[in-house]
């Protein structure tokens, strides 16, 4: 804000107050709080130590009464602030429990109003949500008061910031978890495409209704930074999704190694048939996972399929060309075409021409 704009404004708030009242991102609020901590404010333990030394003196310095008053006021504020933090934690737990008990809203039929069966339960959750919003505002005020306090209130401010970080994380993670769960229920109710086909494995739930590994990893990293309790329902759900995806990827890597070892072979013999059956079953598992693994699924389908007139497994060292009509792939030698020159040979010819 410029000087002229500040003069014209009827009211102005500092960056910390703006972050507290407007609900700005946690990164900004934490940055401002860090700047306040650069001041050399005494800690409550230092005041207690000074008061203990003053009690041993034969005279009573006037500063002793000031320090005692400051410490008393701080302890009173600290007790009130910690009560607010405990109340906020209880409200958060109550709100999560109420949300877990609410039935999902049924889709309204055409030309009819939505069902009101869950209306009383949803109205009962409104006071908890309103109280939670007011409590979160109080926690932000605790952060601001901890920044401007005459004594170092970093311990209380850190506890308040931790609660705010956890709530900010839950507000980002909860809609994603609900969307993925709703898509999974809709897919199981309506039926998905065949998981053994490429369309069924990669289709199923839409990309927006599944977690990507990047989003899932980022949410878990942010949860760790926010010191989220291990028993948090959202965190346990995301950890279960991440563990299932990692297990699938590990098994996929093992299958890929075995299939690469059998590259270019005809599908004969029980061992190779069993390997292909395992690969196709693993593709079906990926279609049911709440994590998007389309690139890995596509690669596994590629190396576990047979191609060309010879019906051999994919070999990345054997060049193929695709038919523009049937979209099938064929080896050059199998269809009577000369194998294209390698990139090294093309580079050597270019050097000779120069």
Q: Please report the DSSP string for 21-57 in residue order.
A: HHT--HHHHHHHHHHHTTS-PPPHHHHHHHHHHHHTS
Given a cut of 80, is residue 60 above it in pLDDT?
yes
Query: N- to C-terminal Cα distance for the chain?
Result: 64
Give the model confidence (pLDDT) of 91-137 as tens digits.
888 777 766 654 544 444 555 454 555 555 445 444 566 777 788 88
The answer to whether residue 353 sits within a structural domain is yes
The answer to whether residue 95 sits within a structural domain is yes
Q: Choose between 225 and 343: higher pLDDT.
A: 225
Q: Which regions of the chain does DSSP assign to beta strands (E)?
A: 211-212, 291-292, 306-307, 312-313, 320-322, 329-331
The answer to whether residue 24 sits within a structural domain is yes
Total domains present in the chain: 2
| C-alpha span between 263 and 170 (Å, rounded) | 47
**Last residue of one domain, picked from the residues 148, 168, 188:** 168
The answer to whether residue 219 sits within a structural domain is no
The residue among 251, 262, 223 whose CA lies nearest residue 239 is: 223
Could you give the residue ranges of the DSSP H alpha helices within 117-153? 119-148
Q: What is the mean pLDDT of residues 185-207?
A: 47
Q: Which domain holds residue 132?
A: 13-100+125-168
The answer to whether residue 237 sits within a structural domain is no
| C-alpha span between 304 and 196 (Å, rounded) | 12
The answer to whether residue 301 sits within a structural domain is no
DSSP 209: G
Q: Identify the top-confidence range among 191-195, 243-247, 305-309.
A: 243-247
| C-alpha span between 264 and 319 (Å, rounded) | 11
Give the model confidence (pLDDT) of 253-306 as tens digits.
999 898 888 877 777 678 888 888 899 999 999 988 999 999 999 999 888 888
| C-alpha span between 314 and 328 (Å, rounded) | 12
**Last residue of one domain, picked from the residues 109, 133, 168:** 168
Residues 6+ apart with CB under 8 A from 29: 16, 19, 20, 140, 143, 161, 164
The answer to whether residue 184 sits within a structural domain is no
The residue among 103, 129, 125, 100 whose CA lies nearest residue 116 is: 103
The answer to whether residue 283 sits within a structural domain is no
Backbone angles phi, psi at 211, to 5 degrees: -75, 140
């Amino acid at each position: 804000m410029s000087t002229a704009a500040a003069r014209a404004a009827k009211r102005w708030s500092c960056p910390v107050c703006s972050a507290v009242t407007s609900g700005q991102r946690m990164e900004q609020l934490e940055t401002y709080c860090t700047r306040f901590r650069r001041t050399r404010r005494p800690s409550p333990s230092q005041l207690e130590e000074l008061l203990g030394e003053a009690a041993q003196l034969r005279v009573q310095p006037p500063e002793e009464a000031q320090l005692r008053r400051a410490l008393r006021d701080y302890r009173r504020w600290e007790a009130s602030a910690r009560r607010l933090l405990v109340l906020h934690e209880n409200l958060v737990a109550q709100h999560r429990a109420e949300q877990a008990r609410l039935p999902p809203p049924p889709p309204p039929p055409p030309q009819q109003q939505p069902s009101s069966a869950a209306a009383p339960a949803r109205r009962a959750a409104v006071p908890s949500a309103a109280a939670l919003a007011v409590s979160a505002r109080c926690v932000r005020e605790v952060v601001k008061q901890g920044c401007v306090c005459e004594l170092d209130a970093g311990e209380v401010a850190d506890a308040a910031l931790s609660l705010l970080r956890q709530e900010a994380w839950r507000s980002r993670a909860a809609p994603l978890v609900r969307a993925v769960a709703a898509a999974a229920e809709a897919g199981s109710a309506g039926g998905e495409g065949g998981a053994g086909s490429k369309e069924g494995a990669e289709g199923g739930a839409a990309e927006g209704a599944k977690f990507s590994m990047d989003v899932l990893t980022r949410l878990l990293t942010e949860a760790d930074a926010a010191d989220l309790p291990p028993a948090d329902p959202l965190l346990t759900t995301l950890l279960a999704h991440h563990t299932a995806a990692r297990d699938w990827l590990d098994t996929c890597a093992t299958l890929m190694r075995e299939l690469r070892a059998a590259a270019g072979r005809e599908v004969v013999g029980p061992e190779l048939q069993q390997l292909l059956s395992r690969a196709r079953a693993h593709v079906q598992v990926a279609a049911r996972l709440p994590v998007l693994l389309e690139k890995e699924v596509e690669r596994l389908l590629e190396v576990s399929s047979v191609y060309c007139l010879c019906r051999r497994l994919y070999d990345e060292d054997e060049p193929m060309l695709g038919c523009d009509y049937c979209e099938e792939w064929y080896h050059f030698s199998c269809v009577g075409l000369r194998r294209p020159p390698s990139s090294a040979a093309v580079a050597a010819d270019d050097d000779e021409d120069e």
